[in-house]
Amino acid sequence: MATIRILLSLVTFILPLVIANKSNAQNWPQFRGPGGNAFSADTNIPSGWDNSKNMIWKCDLPGKGSSSPIVWKNNIFITCFINQESGIERSLLCIDKNSGKVVWKAVVKPDSQDDPYSGYLTQHGYASSTPVTDGESIFVFFGKAGVLAFDFSGKEIWRKSVGNKSGNRKWGSASSPILHKDMVIINASEESRAVIALNKKTGTEVWKAQGDKIELSYSTPFIFNSSPEKQVIVLPVPGETWAINPDNGKLAWFAETPLHGNVSPTVTSKDDLIFCFGGFPQTKAIAIKAQGKGDLSANIIWTSTDSSYVPSPIVFREHLYWVSDRGLAYCAEAATGKVIYKERLPVKSSGGVARPVYASMILVNDKLIAVTRQDGTFVLKAGPSFQLISHNKISDETDFNASPAVSEGKLFLRSDKCLYCIGNP
């Protein structure tokens, strides 16, 4: 009987994990995947591909965009924009995961005064925020055009404005929405200098956390499990990192940081450490021990000038990995910030304000996948020694700005022209 009880206990413990892993392998519901950790346990993604090798399908897109694709079961959702004389037309597409055919397209007509398509805004455009889904609705953030909810047939459920201001640089929106309980969380840094929580069923505002420092924060909010009973939303802003109570919008703690100017990368975490990257004109990286309340500035345990301007880092086991916007591949000790390797990938400089890398890496099992704008995708071995597994190129003259998505043995890469599905035949 004792043996039976032990077996039953093991089944009770393991079965939910198996179900969760199966669900996570199928669904990629937000920017950087389940939990925003940029990790997939999928073991079937091929290491090499081109326009014919391991290319399952490609889908022509109706417009540009830097937003990443998300996946729920057999549905892929992706946003696009077209710059017209009448204004910016945005759209949300549903694409069949197995065939690459467009199932439906929901168009959002211009009804707001967008910032002019000039300067740095041309590097990412008006569809930079990755959608998020709970399996019932899809939520998109379209800057001054608002936050919108759609059902899985493409019908608009609600639309909510989160402001119509412009940042002093007029760079447009970049942060992606996330979900927490029954709320959609938006970093409306440009539009209203606020983090805003909306009821996901109605679009009604639940809370609003305002502050002038948010203006140059382009980072996607990150849900950090500070304890089994408590979660906080972590958002780096110029000169500080904030932890916000996700239930009421109140500040739980903050830390003064050396990340000044605009801050774009999304944070990641390991145990009680939070890693923040970004800043301008000098990029920096820091690790904060997220224990306590109030001012945690003294909890910064290391600072480094080896960092990234736009791409976000990944933490895996004892190390941090990232590819900087200039094409440098890094591995560093998570506990100390000590750089283990720093290798330049064979990428060409785009010149001017453009950088060769815009997308964030993802980790698929033990492989790091790094997408560059015009020089293909690099697959690296996740480990403390630099190992380039492959360098894969697709004949596509447009930019690849979006971070990849993964689902059931398929890798999805998005350019300004097409969505590509990579997988074993």
- Share above pLDDT 90 across residues of the chain, in percent, rounded to a whole number: 83
- Give mean pLDDT, residues 355-378: 96
- Give mean pLDDT, residues 188-192: 95
Answer for the pair 145, 90: CB distance below 8 angstroms, yes or no.
yes
Answer for the pair 304, 339: CB distance below 8 angstroms, yes or no.
yes
**Alpha-carbon torsion 299, 304, 308, 312, what sign?**
negative
Question: Closest Cα to residue 252, out of 286, 281, 288, 285?
Answer: 288
The Cα–Cα gap between 249 and 229 comes to 17
Strand order in the sheet with 132-133: 132-133, 137-141, 147-151, 156-160
The Cα–Cα gap between 389 and 368 comes to 9
- Give mean pLDDT, residues 358-377: 97
Residue at 273: amino acid letter: L
pTM here is: 0.92
pLDDT bin (cut points 50, 70, 90) of residue 79 is very high
Residue 31's CB is within 10 A of a number of other CB atoms, namely: 25
Q: What does the pLDDT read at residue 17?
A: 38
CA torsion angle 152 156 157 161 (round to 10) = 130
Residue at 82: amino acid letter: I
Answer for the pair 417, 398: CB distance below 8 angstroms, yes or no.
yes
- Please write the tens of the pLDDT for every residue from 403-425: 999 999 999 999 999 999 999 98
Answer for the pair 211, 194: CB distance below 8 angstroms, yes or no.
yes
pLDDT bin (cut points 50, 70, 90) of residue 122 is confident
Q: What does the pLDDT read at residue 230?
A: 87
Topology given in CATH for the domain delimited by 26-423 = Methylamine Dehydrogenase; Chain H (2.130.10)
- Please write the tens of the pLDDT for every residue from 243-269: 999 999 999 999 999 999 999 999 999
For tokens 């800043």, name the residue: 279
The Cα–Cα gap between 351 and 282 comes to 18
- Give the CA count within 13 Å in the CB-facing half-sphere of 51: 5
The Cα–Cα gap between 13 and 11 comes to 5
- Please write the tens of the pLDDT for every residue from 200-212: 999 999 999 999 9
pLDDT bin (cut points 50, 70, 90) of residue 270 is very high
- Share above pLDDT 70 across residues of the chain, in percent, rounded to a whole number: 93
The Cα–Cα gap between 262 and 180 comes to 26
Q: What does the pLDDT read at residue 171?
A: 86
- Give mean pLDDT, residues 173-194: 96
- Please write the tens of the pLDDT for every residue from 289-343: 999 999 999 999 999 999 999 999 999 999 999 999 999 999 999 999 999 999 9
Burial class (CB in 10 A: 0-12, 13-18, 19+), 60: exposed
Q: In degrees, to the nearest 5, what angle opens at C-alpha 222 toward C-alphas 217 and 225?
A: 145
pLDDT bin (cut points 50, 70, 90) of residue 350 is low
Strand order in the sheet with 240-244: 222-227, 230-237, 240-244, 251-256, 294-295
Q: Which residues contact 305 (CB under 8 A, 6 or more apart)?
A: 282, 283, 284, 285
User: What 3-state class would DSSP assign to 81?
Assistant: strand
For tokens 């940081």, name the residue: 257
Distance of CA 203 to the CA centre of its chain: 22
Q: What does the pLDDT read at residue 22?
A: 45
Q: Which residues contact 303 (CB under 8 A, 6 or more apart)?
A: 258, 284, 285, 286, 337
Average pLDDT, the chain: 92
pLDDT at 228 over 80: no
pLDDT bin (cut points 50, 70, 90) of residue 99 is very high
Residues facing 241 on adjacent strands: 236, 255
